Amino acid sequence: MRELYGYRPLKDIIFADDFDKGPNGWINLMPNFRQDEFDYYPAQTGWTSWGPPMLSSATYGYAGTHGSLHGTYSMKLSTRAVADPVDRFPAPGSQGVAIKRLTHRDRGYLKCEMYYTLTAEQNIPGVGEEAIRSFGFFWDSTDDESRTFYGARYINAADGVMQQRWQLFQVDPNSNEDWGYIGESAPGDTPDEKVTLERGIDTIWLGKRYKNGSTDGYYDIPNSEQKLCYNETPDKINWHYFSLTVDMDKGEYVELCSVNKRFDLRGIKATRVSRYPRIDWLLNPVVFVETDTNRRVFLYVDSIVNSTSLHLDDGEARDQ
């Protein structure tokens, strides 16, 4: 990625990560250690085996090296070959999750763009598109008063049934189902303060799940059905464009772009919860992929750009 061709960032670029230049600070998402010993909170012990990111040449046994959009390497997320039914919480290892950690510089608008592709492991015959349950991107975003998960997820398949629609991170306000987390999750500001995961936090593995791939943590974007390009065999990969723009001042979504489609999301709120100790002004972008069956699936990110601006139209080449 010699320049930002192919991207339409907002005025101030926060980072522009090309994985030909290395891992750029992306690491697997890990649970928190307890404070009294090198062990995890009981509710998080299954969260230690999400697949770590790797620099990938996208190499296949019969195709050879595919490389990336802008060079040789992309960041690949892999799941383990394990899955539970779609209406249960994700099995440990059934997701690959990569996170980068920084902090905000300002309020205003925030935009993520990436070129990615996805495929199933070529260990058995077939295209394998039905093996991919979902993938997506989100920000874990805080200020000194609140915490918000902004993100988009593509629900591809649910127990082998193709779904192929887009969802946003937003808690269903009409559900009374438990979020699914029990006990402590992190150290407080003081030793006596107890912290737990509220509704709207850690949506990728919490929230009641349903047979069609909907969950209490995701809002199904109306009329968002979209068939992605899986090509005709799992060792042929095509790079896709994705972008998500949010308005941090209003706490709502602005726009999702996927390949040729644009979804106007203005007016759709993200779920804002109260402040969490120790993580003021945190800004953590996260990429994830999830398998639908006992087969590894992969998400490759060629490059990813995050940008911000106080105004939408002062740097972005928008059509509207």
* Site of interaction with another protein (CB under 8 A): 22-23, 28, 39, 48-49, 51-52, 54-57, 59-61, 65, 72-73, 76, 78, 80, 121-123, 296
Distance CA 27, CA 15 (A): 16
Q: How far is the CB of 303 from another protein (least distance, A)?
A: 16
CA distances to 136, 234, 236, 317 from 122, in Å:
22, 6, 11, 39
Q: Which is nearer to another protein, 60 or 241 (CB)?
A: 60
Q: Which is nearer to another protein, 73 or 137 (CB)?
A: 73
Q: How far is the CB of 195 from another protein (least distance, A)?
A: 22
HSE toward the beta carbon, residue 69, CA cutoff 13 A: 25
In 48-143, beta strands by DSSP E: 54-56, 59-60, 64-65, 74-78, 95-99, 102-103, 109-120, 132-142
Q: How far is the CB of 19 from another protein (least distance, A)?
A: 10
Q: How far is the CB of 48 from another protein (least distance, A)?
A: 5
Q: How far is the CB of 78 from another protein (least distance, A)?
A: 7
Q: How far is the CB of 159 from another protein (least distance, A)?
A: 24
Largest separation between any pair of C-alpha atoms in the chain: 58
Q: Which is nearer to another protein, 49 or 164 (CB)?
A: 49
First to last CA, the chain: 27
SS3 state at 152: strand
Q: Which is nearer to another protein, 17 or 252 (CB)?
A: 17
Q: Which is nearer to another protein, 78 or 185 (CB)?
A: 78
Q: Which is nearer to another protein, 34 or 275 (CB)?
A: 34
Q: Which of 100, 60, 52 shows the shortest CA–CA distance to 79?
A: 52
Q: How far is the CB of 61 from another protein (least distance, A)?
A: 3
Place of tokens 């090198």: 38
Q: Which is nearer to another protein, 122 or 175 (CB)?
A: 122
Residues 6 or more apart in contact with residue 47 via CB below 8 angstroms? 30, 31, 40, 92, 205
Q: Which of 67, 50, 69 shows the shortest CA–CA distance to 58?
A: 67
Q: Which of 259, 237, 239 shows the shortest CA–CA distance to 128?
A: 237
Place of tokens 């737990």: 196
